[in-house]
Amino acid sequence: MDIRPADTDEETYQVWLRVLRTLTPGQRLENALRLSEENRELALAGIRLRHPEYDPREAELALRRQRWGDATFREVYPEAPLLDP
């Protein structure tokens, strides 16, 4: 079942689907990894904007806390401060 994004007209959506169907599994994986990394960088940039006082390690810890939740973060980093994302 395809669900067309609300901001995309039907013709454009059908073209996009045709292009996606031509991708090899390797190309799909590359796209997924690239999008994942771009999402991570955007989230980290947001943390840096909200907390310019954080050094790079603190920003990374805040991102991990945001992504993993407090319980998992505490298991991995029991001594780290709970920095706001």
CA distance 77 to 40: 20
Q: Model's pTM, two decimal places?
A: 0.77
| pLDDT of amino acid 2 | 74
Per-residue pLDDT of the chain in tens (85 residues, 90 and over written 9): 678 889 999 999 999 999 999 999 999 999 999 999 999 999 999 999 999 999 999 999 999 999 999 999 999 999 999 999 9
The Cα angle at residue 72 between residues 31 and 53, in degrees rounded to 5: 80
CA distance 83 to 85: 6
| pLDDT of amino acid 71 | 97
| pLDDT of amino acid 84 | 97
* Three-state SS at 84: coil
Nearest one of 48, 75, 74, 53 to 63, comparing CA atoms: 48
CB 67: neighbour CB atoms within 10 A?
A: 12
